[in-house]
């Protein structure tokens, strides 16, 4: 097996994985349409392909309700700001509400459910003030909250968050134009499914404590860490594939959609 010993951890992983592991312990990718153990066995020591990794990543976006947005403080910090001058130009990562709601946008505005996360932006929040001041952004999603559900990759060793996937999406922040009542209702319905509490500060909500607006991250690059490098892909994703993936089928890869894969610890259906 080809192993990239990127770090001590990965090298350790490589060492352990050369021993025989119980069937299915490692297989995090599965096709629900095939239920035989042989598929697990066949996958046990091979990495998912890059397309399969893109399916996993796209599924992670679909199932995620928040992610860490990184921005950079303006340099210099405006004198009127209460932000310390010494953080000028430094990055800050803050968790924000997102949802996979592009398909809820009206025709002509939607990009056709192509994996551009929808963001509920609060004007007062540091993330969106930095963006307003010209910062670039990236958005990190991960599956680390599911550690307890996932099967350890290496039996005998403790559960390892590092074995679980994460992805950072790069691109540009695209504030959405104001929506008709009807279109806004469709977007809100999608977004509130994962964020019922956000009803209080939806754009235009009466009595909202803070003004907000809708935006999306238009993805231009994606950096994926599937887990340990001997059993998962690590690197830059093919963004054409990312954008071509849909829930039930895709115009790229082998045609499967993100509904055809499961992330570590998800119930098999």
Angstrom CA distances, 193 to 64, 65, 75, 96, stand at 11, 9, 38, 16
Choose between 21 and 72: whose C-beta lies nearer to ligand NAG.
Answer: 72
Choose between 204 and 235: whose C-beta lies nearer to ligand NAG.
Answer: 235
- In the complex, the smallest distance separating the C-beta of residue 229 from ligand NAG, rounded to whole angstroms, is 20
Interface with ligand NAG, residue 136, by CB under 6 A: yes
Interface with ligand NAG, residue 168, by CB under 6 A: no
Among 134, 155, 204, 209, binds ligand NAG (CB under 6 A): 134
- In the complex, the smallest distance separating the C-beta of residue 137 from ligand NAG, rounded to whole angstroms, is 9
- In the complex, the smallest distance separating the C-beta of residue 243 from ligand NAG, rounded to whole angstroms, is 9
Among 89, 240, 249, 254, binds ligand NAG (CB under 6 A): 240
Contacts of residue 219, defined as CB under 8 A and 6 or more positions apart, other chains included, come to: 115, 116, 117, 169, 170, 171, 239, 242, 243
Q: How far is it, in rounded angstroms, from Cα 34 to Cα 23?
A: 16
- In the complex, the smallest distance separating the C-beta of residue 168 from ligand NAG, rounded to whole angstroms, is 14
- In the complex, the smallest distance separating the C-beta of residue 186 from ligand NAG, rounded to whole angstroms, is 30
Which span sits near ligand NAG by CB under 6 A: 20-28, 123-131, 179-187, 235-243? Answer: 235-243
Environment class of 161 (CB within 10 Å of its CB; exposed 0-12, middle 13-18, buried 19+): middle
Q: How far is it, in rounded angstroms, from Cα 136 to Cα 173?
A: 8
Give residue for tokens 């540091």.
126
Choose between 240 and 249: whose C-beta lies nearer to ligand NAG.
Answer: 240
- In the complex, the smallest distance separating the C-beta of residue 265 from ligand NAG, rounded to whole angstroms, is 29
| DSSP state, residue 38 | H
- In the complex, the smallest distance separating the C-beta of residue 252 from ligand NAG, rounded to whole angstroms, is 4
Q: How far is it, in rounded angstroms, from Cα 8 to Cα 31?
A: 32
Count CB atoms within 10 A of the CB of residue 197.
Answer: 8
Choose between 150 and 219: whose C-beta lies nearer to ligand NAG.
Answer: 219
Which span sits near ligand NAG by CB under 6 A: 60-68, 97-105, 132-140, 188-196? Answer: 132-140
Among 39, 93, 252, 257, binds ligand NAG (CB under 6 A): 252
CA angle 88, 121, 126 (to 5 degrees): 20
Contacts of residue 221, defined as CB under 8 A and 6 or more positions apart, other chains included, come to: 169, 170, 171, 236, 237, 239
* Longest alpha-carbon distance in the chain: 65
Among 66, 110, 194, 238, binds ligand NAG (CB under 6 A): 238
- The site for ligand NAG (CB under 6 A) is made up of 134-136, 238, 240-241, 252
């Amino acid at each position: 097996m080809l192993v990239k010993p990127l770090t001590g951890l990965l090298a350790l992983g490589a060492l352990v994985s050369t021993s025989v592991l119980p069937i299915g312990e490692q297989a995090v990718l599965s096709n629900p349409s095939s239920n035989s153990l042989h598929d697990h066995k066949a996958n046990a020591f091979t990495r998912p392909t890059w397309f399969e990794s893109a399916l996993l990543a796209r599924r992670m976006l679909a199932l995620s309700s928040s992610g860490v947005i990184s921005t950079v403080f303006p340099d210099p910090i405006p004198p009127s700001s209460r932000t310390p001058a010494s953080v000028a130009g430094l990055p800050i990562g803050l968790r924000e509400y997102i949802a996979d709601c592009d398909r809820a946008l009206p025709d002509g505005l939607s990009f056709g459910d192509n994996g551009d996360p929808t963001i509920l932006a609060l004007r007062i929040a540091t993330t969106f003030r930095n963006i307003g001041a010209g910062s670039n952004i990236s958005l990190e999603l991960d599956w680390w909250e599911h550690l307890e559900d996932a099967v350890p990759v290496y039996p005998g060793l403790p559960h390892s968050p590092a074995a679980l996937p994460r992805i950072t999406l790069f691109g540009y922040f695209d504030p959405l134009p104001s929506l008709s009542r009807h279109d806004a209702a469709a977007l809100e319905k999608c977004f509130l499914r994962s964020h019922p509490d956000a009803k209080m500060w939806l754009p235009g909500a009466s009595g909202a404590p803070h003004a907000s607006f809708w935006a999306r991250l238009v993805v231009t690059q994606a950096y994926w860490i599937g887990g340990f490098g001997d059993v998962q892909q690590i690197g830059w994703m093919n963004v054409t594939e990312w954008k071509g993936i849909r829930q039930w089928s895709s115009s790229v890869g082998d045609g499967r959609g993100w509904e055809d894969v499961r992330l570590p610890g998800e119930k098999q259906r």
